[in-house]
A and B are shown apart, each in its own frame.
Chain A
Amino acid sequence: MYIVGYIDDENDVMADYIKRLARRDIEMKIAPKGDMESIKKWIVKEHVECMMIDYQLSGTYGFVGTELFSYLNDELPGLPCMILTSYTDSSVQENKVVQNCIFDRSKMDRTGEEFEQFCEIIKQSSEVFKYNLSKYKQKYEMLYQKRTDGSIRPEEEEELLSVFKILRAYGEVDDISSQLLTTKVSATLDSVLEKLDDLLKK
């Protein structure tokens, strides 16, 4: 099952969306009301693999969909997002989101090939996301091991930090400061702990 998130301020056909997508092996989850940060947390918590955002959200949320799109791009790198709206022109004119990521909401009410193709786009986006996330995890584990062995090179340490930040955003690693992963801080920390051990022994 693919997990797709959806945010809209008013849409009384959401139940129809959920049912229709479920027939195509896509589970649609509806975002709660709240600010951008709470929506980000909800996405992580629900393990959303692709996010669909309505453009006109300001009545309920105080921001428009393209603003949330940009925010999620920064905060959750690699998360596929798309604008699903009746206001495609406005979304395009703003130049905040690339046109390929903007879809007319009528895609959802189409029958036949057009709807099936749209579902395939959602699924493919989820697959890309899952693949990238697992790739990051593998890389993180490999680099972390090197850091533990003391064989990590400076450029690898930088890479470790950026992969860590991505995985931390998705809650895949502990929410600690990335500074703690640097060899220098780690060495200092080890030395402090060693001294603490000595003190305790005395």
Chain B
Amino acid sequence: MAKVSFNVDAYTARLIGRENVSKLEGAVIELIKNTYDADASICILYYDDNSEVLYLADNGVGMTQDIIIKHWMTIGRSSKKQAYITNAGRIQTGAKGIGRFALDRIAEKCTMITGTKENNDKIIWSVDWSQFGGDLNITEVTADIENSSVSYEEFVGHCDNQDIVKLIKQKWKNSGTIFKLSNLHEKWDQNLIRNLRDNLSSLIPYELGEIYKIYCFDNATGIHEAEVFSNVDAFSYDYKIEYEVGKNSGGQDVHYRIWRDEFDFGSKENDVLAGADLINEKQSFHGKPIEKDCLFREVVPDKDNTIGYFKGILYFSKISTTSQDKERFYQKDISSRTDVRDTFGGLKIYRDSFRVRPYGDPKSSSYDWLQLARRKNMSPAGVGSYKGTWHVSADQMLGSIFISRMNISLPDQSNREGIVETNEFRLLKEFTLKMIGFLEQDRQYVCRKLRAFYESTHETETIEKDIRKKAEQKKNDNTTSNQTNQDKSDIGVDPVAAQKVIDAKDEQIEELQNELKMLRALATTGIVTNTYIHEFKTLTHKLNMKIAMAKEAIDQDHDIEEAGRYINQADGVREAFTSWFQVTIESVKSDKRRRRKIDVAKAIAGLAESWNLTLAGKGVHIHFKNIQNEEIVLKCFPYEIETIINNLVTNSVASFERIGTDDKDILINISENEEYVFIEYSDTGAGLIDLYKHNPEKILRPFETSKRNAAGELVGTGMGLWIVNNTVLEYRGKIDLAKNRKTNFGFYATISLMK
């Protein structure tokens, strides 16, 4: 009886292949896996948008003609099934022998150049996949193969991006493989390349970056931008735990190391660490990890390691912190930390260095596959809590767990949607959570100690917190009111402790008040300067004018005498400038910011004189009168008295300008009794507008103004009289504006300041 062999229709073979690589992204990844399996240190993906050709290049071991014919061209046969460890020690990722169909998925035509280190000649192999679409049997479909002396550089020599040619020249020796794919099935645009880059960036763990690099080029990309893992260095973390399981025979050993990289104690490091009882662990805050060896059972009680060898690196990285936590726990500044969650976020599983999707995929529901968020919700305590247990948030953890095809109890699901939920997979999850727990315990241990130290050095804050807590408790008690008297007595406040808090608060308030006073004076300087900006401009113009005239008198008339006259006039303008500075910037001089007893009558008289010099050009005159003609002593900040007068005078001058009167007088009378100093202020200006006439106190509110420019627009800040009022209130005094209700013209204010 004759034996008849089976054959396969070429189209069917193509279909089977395509089933396994249905998506473009999957096809590219499949080919990149092959480059890793070929022990390549570099893999290049390059799309030449001018010729619409895609190149995939690796500097791995390459193929001989024998391998191409026996393995590469035999569908379903993979050399990796038996010999799955490469010469470089890598465990190969593929085994089905269908990866080559990925080429068909990407393009219609494929040309490959490949070579091994044993032979200088290269092999050029090419295929037109459209042959698989006809009625031919698989054995009737052919590819072209020939030996060639073409070098790798020559093969890519006509590329538009010369960076690729350079890279290949530098990094490719004898061995390697380059595919040239044309008649692409997809339109390759910027978006597609960007998406591919994003996917590639999480395809391989960044720990692998040193031995295996992927470059993703188009014509506009340089070498540096093309490197897919170029931002690894930017990653910073607070805590890291690295572990290795089952390295020794028996496989029950666990070795782990914890790095503390969260803290910065600055110049007080020794004091803080000594105070927090952490001085003996100082090295651990400077990069030395805390190392421990134990048995698997000590990590997961009553369980032995049935998974086999595996390892992992888990990072805890905060995205934000509070200023209070930063101070209490001496945390490093993380304001410049890059948010890598979208690319490196999540805990990923890698099998033989390639991602097992979808675990830890930031864009999928399997991001939190360990249910860290649920765990956190069950125990939301802060890291410094003495009683509660702190847990990480899901988005604060990232890292990689490395398994291998040798972990046979962790098989891939047939649909490639993750790992089968075996007992071992559940054990892997439990173990990983325990590792995270070790990291959490260490962080909480440190933070609790730092908190205790902080509280010991910030006693009042602790008491205040306690009082607040008790007040909150009391409030709750009032609503539930089913507590015993004994319970209620526990929430009493120690008056001595409370006094400390009150004193500290008083000090804070005084500091803030002093700041506020200074700001008022500065605001007044701003208001006055802004109000008289035109005067400053005019003075500058006059000064420049006189200088220009003096210059022309010399240059053109040769008249030294006339030039002298102009210079004298310029000198007069300079004096006017000085008087302006007297009433503006001088108010905030340091000697006026010291509280002391002064003769307030003399101070105001001096200020009035400065103003008279300043305003002489405007026809404004201040008439000052000390009614009792005696020294009037007031303990005050001199700049505050000037603040009051300067704001009032500024308002009066604006009022004179508004009505264009020739009668521009300001009257200031000062007197005293035993308790108060009285300043009576009035002017001959327009008086309050109707809006404020019947309710003059309203003008003391902030942002109330009636000051307009020539075009009728409101230009006042509305801060002047508000500042005056606040300053007066500081002296437990008041401003009486009642007289304005009865008068038609002029502004009237009687200010009393308590001695």
> Closest CB of chain A to B544's CB: distance in Å?
4
Which of chain B's residues have a CB closer than 8 A to the CB of A16? Answer: 545-546, 548-549
Q: Which residue of the partner chain B has the closest CB to A109?
A: B544
Contact A64 B710 (CB under 8 A): yes
A181 to B639, CA, bound (A): 74
CA distance A13 to B540 in the complex (A): 12
Stretch at the interface among A55-63, A117-125, A137-145, A170-178: A55-63
Give every chain A residue within 8 A of B556 (Cβ-Cβ): 23
Contacts of A62 in B (CB 8 A): 660
On whether the beta carbons of A86 and B548 are closer than 8 Å, the reply is no
Please, which residue of chain A has its CB at the minimum distance from the CB of B549? A16
> CA–CA, A141 to B556, complex, Å?
45
| Cα A127 to Cα B709 with chains together (Å) | 36
Chain B interface, number of residues (Cβ within 8 angstroms): 21
| Interface residues as binary, A108-134 with B (CB distance below 8 Å gives 1, 0 otherwise) | 111100010000000000000000000
B contacts with A: majority SS: helix
- State the Cβ distance, B195 to closest chain A Cβ, in Å: 51
Question: How long is the Cα–Cα vector from A23 to B540 in the complex, in angstroms?
Answer: 23
Whether A105 sits at the interface, judged by CB under 8 Å, is yes
Chain B nearest Cβ from A39, distance in angstroms: 17
Contact of A110 among B548, B617, B709, B710 (CB under 8 A): B548
Residue pair A58, B549 in contact (C-beta under 8 Å): no
Is A135 an interface residue when CB atoms closer than 8 A count as contact?
no
Shortest CB-to-CB span from B654 to chain A, Å, is 12
* Residue contact B541 to A20, C-beta cutoff 8 Å: no
Known: A55-B710, A90-B711, A109-B541. A60 touches B660 (CB 8 A): yes
Check A20–B552 contact: CB distance below 8 A: yes
Task: Given A16-B546, A56-B534, A106-B544, decide whether A90 and B709 contact each other with a Cβ distance below 8 A.
Answer: yes
| Candidates A19, A57, A64, A106; contact of B541 at CB < 8 Å | A106
**Of B534, B548, B709, which contacts A109 at CB under 8 A?**
B548
Question: What is the CA–CA distance of A106 and B541 in the complex, to the nearest angstrom?
Answer: 6
Chain A nearest CB: distance from B53 CB in Å?
Answer: 58
With the chains together, A59 CA to B538 CA distance in Å? 16
Nearest CB in chain B: distance from A54 CB, A: 11
Q: Is A74 interfacial (CB-CB < 8 Å)?
A: no
Q: How far is the CA of A58 from the CA of B657 in the complex (A)?
A: 9
Q: How far is the CB of B549 from chain A (nearest CB, A)?
A: 5
A9: nearest chain-B partner, CB-CB: B660
CA–CA, A64 and B709, complex, Å: 10
Of the candidates A20, A58, A106, A109, the one whose C-beta lies within 8 Å of that of B710 is: A58
Please state if A90 and B710 are interface contacts (CB–CB under 8 Å).
yes
Check if A111 sits within 8 Å of B548, measured CB to CB: yes
Known: A59-B660, A106-B541. A94 touches B534 (CB 8 A): no
Q: Are A108 and B534 in contact (CB under 8 A)?
A: no
Contact B542 A12, beta carbon cutoff 8 Å: yes
Which chain A positions have C-beta within 8 A of B541? 13, 86, 105-106, 108-109
Given the known interface contacts A23-B552, A86-B537, the answer about A58 and B660 at a Cβ–Cβ threshold of 8 Å is yes
Interchain CA distance A94-B711 in the complex, whole Å: 8
Looking at the assembled complex, report how far the CB atom of B559 sits from the nearest CB atom of chain A, in whole angstroms: 12
Interfacial chain A residues near B657, Cβ < 8 Å: 59
Whether, in the assembled complex, A87 has its beta carbon less than 8 Å from a beta carbon of chain B, the answer is yes
Interface residues of A in 55-93 (CB under 8 A from B): 55-60, 62, 64, 86-87, 90, 93
| Residues of chain A contacted by B542 (CB below 8 angstroms) | 12-13
Kindly list chain B residues whose C-beta atoms are within 8 Å of the C-beta of A93: 711
Central interface residue in A19, A55, A64, A109, by most chain B CB within 10 Å: A109
Q: Point out the residues of chain A lying under 8 angstroms from B660, CB to CB.
A: 58-60, 62
Shortest beta-carbon distance from B548 to chain A in Å: 5
Q: Among B548, B617, B710, which residue has the most Cβ atoms of chain A within 10 A?
A: B710
A181 to B344, CA, bound (A): 91
A35 CA to B107 CA, complexed, in Å:
88
Supposing A13-B541, A13-B542, A106-B541 touch, asked if A56 and B548 sit within 8 A by C-beta, the answer is no
Return B338 CB to nearest CB of chain A, in Å: 44
Docked Cα-Cα span, A109 to B547, in Å, equals 8
Which residues of the partner chain A approach B549 to less than 8 Å between Cβ atoms? 16, 19-20
Residues of A within 8 A of B709 (CB): 90
B-side contacts of A23, CB under 8 Å = 552, 556
Q: How far is the CB of A87 from chain B (nearest CB, A)?
A: 7
- The reply on B213 being an interface residue by CB < 8 A is no
- With a cutoff of 8 Å between Cβ atoms, the chain B residues found around residue A57 in the complex are 710
| Proximity string of chain B (471-483) to chain A, C-beta cutoff 8 Å, 1 when within and 0 when not | 0000000000000
Q: Within the complex, what minimum Cβ distance (angstroms) separates A73 from chain B?
A: 18
B702-723 residues at the A interface, CB under 8 angstroms: 709-711
Question: Is B551 located at the chain interface by the 8 A CB criterion?
Answer: yes
Query: How far is the CB of A113 from the nearest CB of chain B, in Å?
Result: 13
Known contacts A12-B542, A58-B660, A86-B537; is A20 also within 8 Å of B548 by CB?
yes
A169→B241 CA distance, assembly (Å): 94
User: Inside 8 A of A55's CB, which chain B residues have their CB?
Assistant: 710
Q: B534–A86 contact, CB under 8 A?
A: yes
Interchain CA distance A93-B617 in the complex, whole Å: 29
Distance from A172 Cβ to chain B, minimum over Cβ atoms (Å): 34
Q: Which residue of B lies closest to A61 (CB)?
A: B660
Residues of chain B in range 524-574 having any CB-CB distance to chain A below 8 Å:
534, 537-538, 540-542, 544-549, 551-552, 556
Q: Is the CB of A108 within 8 A of B545?
A: yes
C-alpha gap A90/B710 in the complex (Å): 9
Query: B546: which A residues are within 8 A, CB to CB?
Result: 13, 16
Across-interface contacts of A109 in B (CB, < 8 A): 541, 544-545, 547-548
Q: Chain A, 97-111, contact with B by CB distance < 8 Å: what is the 0/1 string?
A: 000000001101111
Bound Cα distance from A62 to B660, whole angstroms: 9
**Closest-CB distance, B418 to chain A (whole angstroms):** 67
Min distance, Cβ A57 to any Cβ of chain B, angstroms: 8
A183 CB to closest chain B CB, in angstroms? 47
Cα–Cα, bound, A173→B170 (Å):
94
Q: Which of B609-667 contact A (CB under 8 A)?
A: 617, 657, 660
Inter-chain CA distance A58–B708, complex, in Å, is: 12
- Min CB gap A11→B, angstroms: 8
| Alpha-carbon distance between A105 and B540 when the two chains are bound, in angstroms | 11
Closest to B557 in A: A23
Residues of A within 8 A of B548 (CB): 16, 20, 109-111, 115
| Closest chain A residue to B553, Cβ basis | A19
Closest chain A CB from B34 CB (angstroms): 70
Distance A65 CA – B252 CA, assembled complex (angstroms): 95
Contacts of B552 in A (CB 8 A): 20, 23
How distant is the Cα of A94 from the Cα of B542 in the complex, in angstroms? Answer: 27
Whether A111 touches B551, Cβ cut-off 8 Å, given contacts A64-B711, A90-B709, A106-B544, is: yes
Report B-chain residues with C-beta under 8 Å of the C-beta of A19.
Answer: 549
A52 CA / B534 CA spacing, docked (Å): 19
Q: How far is the CB of B662 from the nearest CB of chain A, in Å? A: 11
Q: Which residue of B lies closest to A94 (CB)?
A: B711
Q: Bound complex: CA of A93 vs CA of B552, how far in Å?
A: 35
Nearest-neighbour CB distance to chain A for B239, whole angstroms, equals 57
- Which chain B residue has the least Cβ–Cβ distance from A19? B549
Nearest chain A CB to B564's CB is how many angstroms away?
Answer: 15
Most B CB contacts (10 A, CB to CB) among A59, A64, A93 go to: A59
Say whether A13 contacts B545, CB under 8 Å.
Answer: yes
Per the bound structure, the CA–CA distance linking A5 and B350 in Å amounts to 88
Taken together as a complex, chains A and B put the C-alpha atoms of A106 and B536 apart, in Å, by 12
| Nearest residue, chain B, Cβ from A58 | B710
- 24 A–B pairs (Cβ distance < 8 Å), ordered by A: A13-B542, A13-B545, A13-B546, A16-B546, A16-B548, A19-B549, A20-B548, A20-B549, A20-B552, A55-B710, A59-B657, A59-B660, A60-B660, A62-B660, A86-B534, A86-B537, A87-B534, A90-B709, A94-B711, A106-B537, A108-B541, A109-B548, A111-B548, A111-B551
Closest 6 CB pairs of A and B: A109-B544, A109-B545, A86-B537, A59-B660, A64-B710, A13-B545
| Beyond A13-B541, A105-B537, 19 extra complex contacts between A and B, CB < 8 Å | A13-B542, A16-B549, A19-B549, A20-B552, A23-B552, A58-B660, A58-B710, A60-B660, A62-B660, A86-B537, A87-B710, A90-B710, A106-B537, A106-B544, A108-B541, A108-B545, A110-B544, A111-B548, A115-B548
